Amino acid sequence: MIDRIRNLNLESLSFWIGFMAATVFWWLVTRLFPYFKKLWRP
């Protein structure tokens, strides 16, 4: 496991970090959207 982490190049590591960050971001946006919709209603 540790050998695999050492052998990862920076490009693939940054890709997966970005992919996971984007996934979490959009999951939060979809979960919080109904609350924002309520706030924007007059």
> Burial level of 9, CB count in 10 A (0-12/13-18/19+)?
exposed
Residue 20 is given by DSSP the state H
pTM: 0.56
Print the domain residue range for 34. 2-40
Q: What is the C-alpha separation between 24 and 36, in angstroms, rounded?
A: 18
What's the Cα-to-Cα distance from 25 to each of 2, 5, 8, rounded to whole Å? Answer: 28, 25, 25
Structure confidence at residue 38 (pLDDT) = 76
- How confident is the model over 1-42, as pLDDT tens digits? 556 666 666 677 888 899 999 999 999 999 988 877 777 776
Q: What total number of domains does the chain contain?
A: 1
Angle at 23 between CA 21 and CA 28, to 5 degrees: 95
